[in-house]
Amino acid sequence: MTTSIATPLRALLLTGLLGVLACAPPGIANETGAQDFQQIERGRYLAAAADCSGCHTDPQGGRPYAGGRPIQTPFGRVLAANITPDRDTGIGAWSDAEFDAAVRGGKMPGGSRLYPAMPYPYYARMNKEDVQALRAYLNTLAPVRHEVHSNQLPFPFNIRASMRVWDALYFKPGVYQPDSRKSPSWNRGAYLVTGPGHCGACHTPKTPLGADVIGRPLQGYSIQGWFAPDITNDSRRGLGDWSPQDIVEYLKNGHNRFAGAAGPMGDEVANGSSHLSDADLLAMAEYLKDQRSQASQVPSVSVRDPAMVAGGAIYQDLCSACHRGDGRGIPYLIPDLAGSASVASDQPTSIIRVVLNGAKTVATQDEPTGPAMPSFKWQLSDAQVAAVTTYVRNSWGHAAQPTTARAVRKARKQLDVSVRQ
Amino acid sequence: MTERLPAKDVVIVGLGWTGSIVANELADAGLQVMAIERGPWRDAAMSYAPNYAQDELRYRIRHELFLRPDQTTFTFRNKMSQTALPIRNWGAFMPPNGVGGGGVHWNGETWRFLPSDFVAASHLKQRYGAHFLPADMTIQDWGVTYEELEPHYDQFEYLCGTSGTAGNLKGEIREGGNPFEGPRSREYPNPAQEQPFSHTLFAKAARELGYKPFPQPSGNMSRAYRNPLGVRLGPCTYCGFCEWFGCANYSKSSPQTTVLPVLVRKSNFQARDNCEVTRINLDSSGKHAAGVTFVDSAGKEFEQPAELVILAAYTIFNVQLLMLSGIGQRYDPVANRGVIGRNFTHQTISDVGSFFDSARFVFNPFIASGAIGMCIDEFNGDNFDHGPHGFVGGGYMGQVQTNGRPIESTPVPPGTPSWGAQWKQAVRENYQSALKPGTGVHGSMYSYRDVYLDLDPTYCDRFQRPLVRITMDFHANELKQNVFLTDRFAEIFHAMGARQVVKEYRKAPYDITAYQTTHLCGGAIMGTDPSTSALNRYLQSWDVPNLFVMGASAFPQNAGYNPTGTVAALAYWSVAQIRSQYLKHPGPLVHA
């Protein structure tokens, strides 16, 4: 490894590991004390990297990590568990081994199975020390008595035993194995992205049963009413135009010269990646920039297409004041539609959603503005939303399937339902 | 039953410009801060979204962003001998409401006052003799100097990203800027906005007449900007929906686009919206504020105890709360005693309409921003010899084209019928070739013994508190000033080639129904003498030292500029002193 970042990163990794070992009392090197500061700090950091609180804290006034947040899956709803150390309703009574089996194996004490809404297929990549550090951190939280009945799925998915079959089919346990041909930082990035960061939980296409499609990691997937875009280095759909520093800024601050994080990614930045070190974010960027995609080539819609003509007029009228006539936006304030490959994602889920509902980007320490876009739901018909999204997805060098009014109607209906909930 | 809330270090009444700035500074000092705002929460992109904000009927005509007179209002009379009546529809000024306050709906005109404005009384007496001033004029020095405020003007301009051209950089006069301004320590954070045709034409004519035109300092962004707090603004799109409107393009400096995003992230800051403070509570000594009492929208009353009380509401509401809380002696114009309510002022505004040959001039008046404009300052303050003219004060004047909106922008020459086919024809013919600046002549209004605020003896608000009574009229000094300035202004439009110029002088009596500006000033003024001022030079109440009063209510008289820059500079000046001195040694910062 010859890049300038390698040495400090390696040093950081080494000191991290040595720190834990050095602090362990003699004789019980594999068991750390309950007050091991370094281990707890490492666990706190990993809890951010894994965005545990994103699911395990109910944003509707819930106590930290006390669970209860509904997680929408394609099969129904599950509620995130209480992972505070309360002995009755949390995980306080679990042994370290039971905790490990749950996080990395999807198995609950007593043998029943977790649903993969808990991303144990990714956490399985984590090493044992990290899982124990996570446990050590969670042990320091205030225990909260909060009974959560996680399983709210309809039949037959509510039968946890069915997960045995799922696990047998799809779950590939195994700690991340470094690739010796790649740099330490690449490997660190790979570990974070595929392990605790569980980026693929949203960004990797899924089979009808919710497992990752083999061979298409991080190539984009529609989830929870958003399209989590391709985050490989593909220049037509993914992050090809982003420098590693652009990726670091985005993960750290929620904003870079191209884009602002909103929706679930905004939450992820706020709870998760904004708390990671620049070195780790750069490592993740290095790994992502080395990923390839097989994005299918789609012909762009003709500029003479009636939807493009109408969409162009709508864009000029309603969008161009902020996003500018050339689609370039204002760096760090108004997203760059021309330069954002994700605009032309395989599915228009996110762009339809943002036009209909508006969106507020995340506000962070270094980028506190948190600019927002208003809703156009009341103003544009299904056909008009279809036209303007078709226009944006086929301008400035983008090419994508035209949006149909039917897709907009469906999205509108789903958004209305989710608002009523 | 009043609910007593947990005590805070600071309670701030009103979350507009000064409330936001002071809250942010005091939160940075580590204090627990609670802001209480009478109106609703407002967020830049969501509360006046750009896909419906350009609605002249809703915002301009129906006053969407303003206080509703049926929530509370004032009574008005011109003379002390008259009976005041309640204002039932806003006219001469627009009381703001809601988070961001006037900072949401302002144009963004971000001026500094002249160094001589802060010492108006002593300067004018020295130059012209005391006899030159009208006998009933009550102007005073501020107790603070331009030099002391300069760093705080600078702070505000960099917070806002003000667009402008420096005319006096550390004493060096610079081409293209205002040569009369006080020395500034550095350039504006952003260059001046691009000027449309009518503005450049005005500047050319003004130059030919020997004046030194310069771009009006503007809170509308000439380019993307990131302020020292890390908050970002975008370039102005010149849409022409600025004053009376909120800007959801992040292009107009407002509390929402400059300071609130940072403030709301602080865990030691809290705000309550839709809550109206009804009084400042004093302890048994009567010399120490214990906090405030407020009422929420359900009518429930709360008491918020606090160690430090900051009044940061609109001018008249600051004065009203002081009066209703029994803080400071109320002003009595007959005895010429007391301080709360005295030296109440507004502006002296006038305009010139001009009509050009439509075959030769196409002005596209809709290309506009709130504060875009070319101005001259030759006739402001004491920038010219008043000796031959027999009045004091003055104002800037300029071609400040703020909009070409359809309902208001229908300039027609005098003699045109006011409706029907001929009127329509005249509107069609003149829309593109007539000029009517949003701000034309922006004159000062000095203070007088019989222009003041007190409590109305008859009319009450919904809490049965007496309404504030405004007694205000124009005096001969201001009317003379206005004739002189309006004539000079009209000459420039003649020089631009107008075929017809219509002067619209400001006339007495003061008309409460026609909009001038929202720049009401005074009533709780700052100064050096507790017998003639409510506040010391740090905006601290002489009577209750743990009470500070922000805002234009502190102006002893109003200068010939828009007040926001000075209001904000005073807030920074005051809070700097609170942080550096008061918090260490709570008590009077000035011993009279």
Q: What per-residue confidence (pLDDT) applies to A9? A: 37
- A250 burial via Cβ count (<10 Å: 0-12, 13-18, 19+): buried
The reply to whether residue B230 touches residue A372, judged by beta carbons under 8 angstroms, is no
Residues of B recognised as catalytic:
519
Q: How many domains does the structure of chain B reveal? A: 1
| pLDDT tens by residue, A338-362 | 998 889 999 999 999 999 999 999 9
Cβ-Cβ contacts under 8 Å, A374 against chain B: 45-46, 49-51, 248
Q: What per-residue confidence (pLDDT) applies to A158? A: 82
Mean pLDDT over B334-354 rounds to 97
The reply to whether residue A321 touches residue B249, judged by beta carbons under 8 angstroms, is yes
| Residue A253 within any structural domain of the chain | yes
Query: Is the per-residue pLDDT at A112 higher than 90?
Result: no
Pairing of strands B289-295, B547-549: unpaired
| pLDDT tens by residue, B223-235 | 999 999 999 999 9
Query: Is the per-residue pLDDT at A26 higher than 80?
Result: no
The reply to whether residue B226 touches residue A322, judged by beta carbons under 8 angstroms, is no
The reply to whether residue A332 touches residue B249, judged by beta carbons under 8 angstroms, is no
Rounded percentage of chain A residues whose pLDDT exceeds 90 = 74
Residue pair B568/B589 in contact (Cβ under 8 Å)? The answer is no
Query: How many CB pairs (< 8 A) connect A and B?
Result: 63
Query: Is the per-residue pLDDT at A190 higher than 70?
Result: yes
Mutate to test the interface with B, among A274, A323, A330 (most CBs of B within 10 A): A330
Rounded distance between C-alpha atoms, residue B495 and residue B210, angstroms: 12
Mean pLDDT over B31-39 rounds to 98
| pLDDT tens by residue, B526-540 | 999 999 999 999 999
Task: Examine the domain organization and report whether A193 and A233 are in the same domain.
Answer: yes
Per the DSSP assignment, residues forming a β-bridge with B470 are B76, B453
The reply to whether residue A322 touches residue B50, judged by beta carbons under 8 angstroms, is yes
Which of B45, B226, B232 lies closest to A374 in CB terms?
Answer: B45
Buried b (16+ CB within 10 A) or exposed e, A99-124: bbbbbbbbbbeeeebbbbbbbbbbbb
Q: What single string gives the DSSP state of each residue in A304-370?
A: TSHHHHHHHHHIIIIIHHHH-TTS--BTTTB--TTT-GGGG-SS-HHHHHHHHH-EEBPP-SS----
Cβ-Cβ contacts under 8 Å, A332 against chain B: 226, 232
Q: What per-residue confidence (pLDDT) applies to A279? A: 98
Mean pLDDT over B545-567 rounds to 98
Cβ-Cβ contacts under 8 Å, A358 against chain B: 45-46, 49
| Residue B312 within any structural domain of the chain | yes
The reply to whether residue A331 touches residue B237, judged by beta carbons under 8 angstroms, is no
Domain housing A125: 35-170
| pLDDT tens by residue, B145-161 | 999 999 999 999 999 99
| Residue B481 within any structural domain of the chain | yes
The reply to whether residue A365 touches residue B265, judged by beta carbons under 8 angstroms, is yes
Cβ-Cβ contacts under 8 Å, A318 against chain B: 51
| pLDDT tens by residue, A200-255 | 999 999 998 889 998 999 999 998 889 999 999 998 889 999 999 999 999 999 99
Residue pair B371/B108 in contact (Cβ under 8 Å)? The answer is yes
Query: Is the per-residue pLDDT at B143 higher than 50?
Result: yes
Task: Examine the domain organization and report whether A40 and A146 are in the same domain.
Answer: yes
Q: How many domains does the structure of chain A reveal? A: 3
Give CA separation, A201 vs A213, A223, A248, B537, in Å: 11, 9, 20, 61
Q: What per-residue confidence (pLDDT) applies to A77? A: 86
State chain A's mean pLDDT as an integer. 89
| pLDDT tens by residue, A27-43 | 333 345 667 899 999 99
Cβ-Cβ contacts under 8 Å, B235 against chain A: 330
| Residue B227 within any structural domain of the chain | yes
Q: How far is A180 from chain B (nearest CA, A)?
A: 41
The reply to whether residue B231 touches residue A368, judged by beta carbons under 8 angstroms, is yes
Q: What per-residue confidence (pLDDT) applies to A369? A: 97
Which of B51, B52, B230 lies closest to A368 in CB terms?
Answer: B230
Last residue of a domain, one of A170, A198, A221: A170
Give CA separation, A78 vs A48, A57, A73, A212, A416, in Å: 22, 14, 7, 19, 21
Cβ-Cβ contacts under 8 Å, B51 against chain A: 318, 374, 376, 379
Q: What single string gives the DSSP state of each residue in B344-387?
A: -B--EEEEEEEE--TTT----TTSB-TT--EEE-TTSTTSS--T
Give the count of beta carbons closer than 10 Å to the beta carbon of residue B279: 18
The reply to whether residue B262 touches residue A367, judged by beta carbons under 8 angstroms, is no
Query: Is the per-residue pLDDT at A405 higher than 80?
Result: yes
Choose between A293 and A287: higher pLDDT.
A287
Choose between A313 and A5: higher pLDDT.
A313
Residue of A nearest to B223 (CA): A330
Q: Which candidate, B255, B451, B487, B212, places its Cα nearest to that of B347?
A: B451
Which of B49, B237, B250 lies closest to A374 in CB terms?
Answer: B49
Rounded distance between C-alpha atoms, residue B162 and residue A279, angstroms: 37
| Residue A242 within any structural domain of the chain | yes
| Residue B181 within any structural domain of the chain | yes
Cβ-Cβ contacts under 8 Å, A367 against chain B: 230, 232
Residues 6+ apart with CB under 8 A from A419: none
Choose between B133 and A115: higher pLDDT.
B133
Last residue of a domain, one of A255, A288, A321: A288
CB of B239 less than 8 A from some CB of A: yes
Q: What per-residue confidence (pLDDT) applies to A419? A: 53
Which of A331, A366, A373 lies closest to B45 in CB terms?
Answer: A373
In this prediction, residue B194 has a pLDDT band, given cuts at 50, 70 and 90, of: very high
pTM over 0.90: yes
Rounded percentage of chain B residues whose pLDDT exceeds 90 = 98
Give the count of beta carbons closer than 10 Å to the beta carbon of residue A165: 11
CATH number, position B336? 3.50.50.60
Rounded distance between C-alpha atoms, residue B469 and residue B70, angstroms: 16
Choose between A61 and B138: higher pLDDT.
B138
| Residue A179 within any structural domain of the chain | no
In this prediction, residue B422 has a pLDDT band, given cuts at 50, 70 and 90, of: very high
Mutate to test the interface with A, among B232, B252, B258 (most CBs of A within 10 A): B232
| pLDDT tens by residue, B201-218 | 999 999 999 999 999 999
| Residue B188 within any structural domain of the chain | yes
CA angle, residues A193, A196, A202, in degrees to nearest 5: 60
| Residue B410 within any structural domain of the chain | no
Cβ-Cβ contacts under 8 Å, B234 against chain A: 322, 330, 333-334
Residue pair B128/B386 in contact (Cβ under 8 Å)? The answer is yes
Last residue of a domain, one of A288, A316, A343: A288
Task: Examine the domain organization and report whether A155 and A220 are in the same domain.
Answer: no
Query: Is the per-residue pLDDT at A21 higher than 60?
Result: no
| Residue A104 within any structural domain of the chain | yes
CB of B261 less than 8 A from some CB of A: yes
Which of B43, B230, B234 lies closest to A367 in CB terms?
Answer: B230
The reply to whether residue B50 touches residue A367, judged by beta carbons under 8 angstroms, is no
Mean pLDDT over B469-489 rounds to 98
- Rank A32-41, A147-156, A395-404 by mean pLDDT and report only the highest: A395-404
Give CA separation, A24 vs A33, A43, A95, B60, B338, in Å: 7, 15, 19, 70, 75
Cβ-Cβ contacts under 8 Å, B250 against chain A: 333, 369, 371
| Residue A102 within any structural domain of the chain | yes
Rounded distance between C-alpha atoms, residue B350 and residue B485, angstroms: 9
Mean pLDDT over A44-58 rounds to 95
Which of B45, B234, B235 lies closest to A372 in CB terms?
Answer: B45
| Residue B426 within any structural domain of the chain | no
Domain housing B118: 3-402+435-582
Rounded distance between C-alpha atoms, residue B377 and residue B444, angstroms: 12
Cβ-Cβ contacts under 8 Å, B262 against chain A: 368
CATH number, position A385? 1.10.760.10
The reply to whether residue B43 touches residue A334, judged by beta carbons under 8 angstroms, is no
Task: Examine the domain organization and report whether A324 and A407 are in the same domain.
Answer: yes
Q: What per-residue confidence (pLDDT) applies to A23? A: 38
Choose between B53 and A224: higher pLDDT.
B53
The reply to whether residue A374 touches residue B250, judged by beta carbons under 8 angstroms, is no
CATH number, position A132? 1.10.760
| Residue B531 within any structural domain of the chain | yes
Does the ipTM surpass 0.90?
A: yes
Mean pLDDT over B55-70 rounds to 95
- How many alpha carbons lie under 13 Å from residue A338 in its C-beta half-sphere? 15
Which of A318, A321, A360 lies closest to B239 in CB terms?
Answer: A321
The reply to whether residue A368 touches residue B229, judged by beta carbons under 8 angstroms, is yes
Helix and strand counts by DSSP (H, E) for chain A = 17, 7
Tokens 């206005």 belong to residue: B482
The reply to whether residue B233 touches residue A373, judged by beta carbons under 8 angstroms, is no
Helix A349-357 to helix A405-420 angle, to the nearest 10 degrees?
Answer: 60
Mean pLDDT over B383-398 rounds to 98
Q: How far is B231 from chain A (nearest CA, A)?
A: 5
Rounded distance between C-alpha atoms, residue A131 and residue A136, angstroms: 9
Task: Examine the domain organization and report whether A273 and A196 are in the same domain.
Answer: yes
| Region at A200 (left for phi over 0; alpha for psi -120 to 50; beta for the rest) | alpha
CB of B44 less than 8 A from some CB of A: yes
Phi, psi of A203 (to 5 degrees): -90, -10
Q: How far is A319 from chain B (nearest CA, A)?
A: 9
Task: Examine the domain organization and report whether A209 and A158 are in the same domain.
Answer: no
Which of A333, A360, A368 lies closest to B250 in CB terms?
Answer: A333
| Residue A256 within any structural domain of the chain | yes
State chain B's mean pLDDT as an integer. 97
| Residue A10 within any structural domain of the chain | no
Q: How far is A179 from chain B (nearest CA, A)?
A: 40
Mutate to test the interface with A, among B41, B43, B46, B51 (most CBs of A within 10 A): B51
| Residue A175 within any structural domain of the chain | no
Residue of A nearest to B237 (CA): A321
Mean pLDDT over A85-110 rounds to 95
Query: Is the per-residue pLDDT at A17 higher than 50?
Result: no
The reply to whether residue A376 touches residue B231, judged by beta carbons under 8 angstroms, is no
In this prediction, residue A7 has a pLDDT band, given cuts at 50, 70 and 90, of: very low
Which of B52, B239, B261 lies closest to A370 in CB terms?
Answer: B261
Q: How many whole angstroms from its chain centre is CA A11?
A: 28
Mean pLDDT over A132-144 rounds to 95
Mutate to test the interface with B, among A323, A357, A369, A377 (most CBs of B within 10 A): A369
